[in-house]
Amino acid sequence: MKKTEKFRQLLDSTQLDFLCEAHNGISAVIAEEAGFKGIWGSGLSLSAQFGVRDNNEASWTQVLEMLEFMSDATRVPILLDGDTGYGNFNNMRRLVKKLEQRDIAAVCIEDKLFPKTNSFIQGQAQPLADIEEFCGKIKAGKDAQSDDNFSIIARVEAFIAGWGLSEALKRAEAYKNAGADAILIHSALGTPDEVLAFKREWADRLPVAIVPTKYYATATEVFRSHGFALVIWANHLLRAAIAAMQQTAQSLAADQNLFSVEDRVVPVSEVFRLQGAVELQEAEKKYLPLRQRGVQALVLAASRGMELGELTEQRPKTMVNVAGRPLLAHIVDALNATGIKNISVVRGYKKETVDLPNLNLIDNDEFEDSGELLSLLKGLRGVRPDQDLIVCYGDVLFNKYIVQILAESEDALAIAIDTNWIESANRHRQADYAHCSMPHSREAFSARVTLEHIGADIAPTGIHGEWMGFIKISADEIAAVVAVVEEMLRDAAMRRAKLPDLLNLLVASGRRVQVHYTTGHWLDIDSLDDVLHAGNF
């Protein structure tokens, strides 16, 4: 059912119904969740949330913009407090069209002059609109609507201006004849005497709505017994929010901590719930390609790095200073530069020193009698299962494009191979060499090259490059890799196994490990000389 139809049902029902004020998307959701069948887009509250007076200081286009958020966030109809229609008959025609475009069910306009003043501020000094001019505005609005169920409610301000019952009845009758769908009779008295007198005389010629802000002590049963159609709680969510915000702000200013207010505010998760965060997460699963859901990184940094001697007596290799900052900080910067913000680090030796912010820290307290595979297993169990993963060591400096190549690939498993392997051989440094399905060449640029073997035992004629310590594992493949690693670690002889052992086993089992050739632009920190060279990387 359309929102306009839902609102017409509220007007035409023989039962008393209630509208609750809302002034933005989240307050509209709160009102709907509370059970209200409709929402009052209060002019006072809408202007207040902008921080301006209820004197048409907020433009009608600003009001429309906020209404659009409110309408999109809810399924119940919204009745806009449209002040005087924001101008003459022409403004009214345009307003109705724009409201219908935003799925607003109805508008209420009051018979005062533009710009209006709130009815509770010197109401008796406020002039009323000419009856014929206001009737023309109603007619123009009705002629402009394209949905027959769109409603225009005429708000009679005769009591507010001090003109009495006869003037109120005269105006209501004229507005009825002009095509108004309902009458809102307003009063500033602390008792309902005026609105009850009007309803007795008016009977049921049109549905009547009231706003009992001033006569709040009146029992609702009185309104029900007199046959009113709608009761509007016109500004109470705003007023409640102001009281809560004032109290919270005062506490924060005085106490300078969050302890005193935390129990009085909702958790952030409740804000996310009201915003519909869960729906977006479900939509992402449905509509986003997996590789666009984000890429995460896992840094293996549990070992000490004995080869660096005194530099790692009080901290692991990953926290050794390079150019004035820990090596791990440079790794995090490079990952961040590729857009990877979700970074997990497996720590072990002197783990308390691995304390950089914004990292998911995973402990491997068995680092002394285990190898890289156990750290990998603990890391895989601690990362998100729905994001692709880049695994790297905690002692490697690299340019960001190396990670970008892997992160942007659609391969389930992939590694980066440096074609400049001869330099490592000439320096007699320990390296993991790779033999691939084809060597680096122009043909390999457009071919799908796969790993065939990795290790230090490859004859020079069979070496196609040096593995750089990076593995890309797609989200769909993480669980399978976990199962393989778990199986490997059941063999006591594999407890100190390394990542190349895993890669060889994956290849031997028939899995394709895609190779992406690069040349240089990385540095493995294996010696004190490497630390010195790293400062110039």
Q: Which two tokens stand for residue 104?
A: 């607003």
Instruction: Dump the DSSP string for 59-97.
Output: -HHHHHHHHHHHHHH-SS-EEEE-TT-SSSHHHHHHHHH
Instruction: Specify which residues 153 forms β-bridges with.
Output: 108, 182
Q: Which helix or strand (DSSP H or E) is residue 393 part of?
A: strand 388-393
Q: Is the dihedral of CA 486, 492, 493, 498 positive or negative?
A: positive
The neighbour count for residue 435, using CB atoms within 10 Å, is: 17
Euclidean distance between the first and the last CA atom of the chain, given in angstroms as a whole number:
66
* Cα dihedral 343/348/352/357 (nearest 10): 0
Distance between CA 258 and CA 268 in Å, rounded?
A: 14
Residue type, 169: L
| Residue pair 432/424 in contact by the 8 Å Cβ criterion | no
Q: Map tokens 């119904």 to a residue.
A: 17
| Residue pair 489/441 in contact by the 8 Å Cβ criterion | no
Residue type, 366: E
Distance between CA 1 and CA 325 in Å, rounded?
A: 63
| Residue pair 47/260 in contact by the 8 Å Cβ criterion | no
Among residues 239, 209, 198, which one has the least CA distance to residue 38? 209
Catalytic site positions: 54
| List of residues 6+ apart from 157 with CB closer than 8 A | 110, 111, 112, 119, 123, 126, 128, 186
Q: Which two tokens stand for residue 519?
A: 């040349």
The neighbour count for residue 32, using CB atoms within 10 Å, is: 19
Distance between CA 527 and CA 309 in Å, rounded?
A: 9
| Residue pair 203/184 in contact by the 8 Å Cβ criterion | no
Distance between CA 354 and CA 44 in Å, rounded?
A: 54
Q: Map tokens 């997460």 to a residue.
A: 281
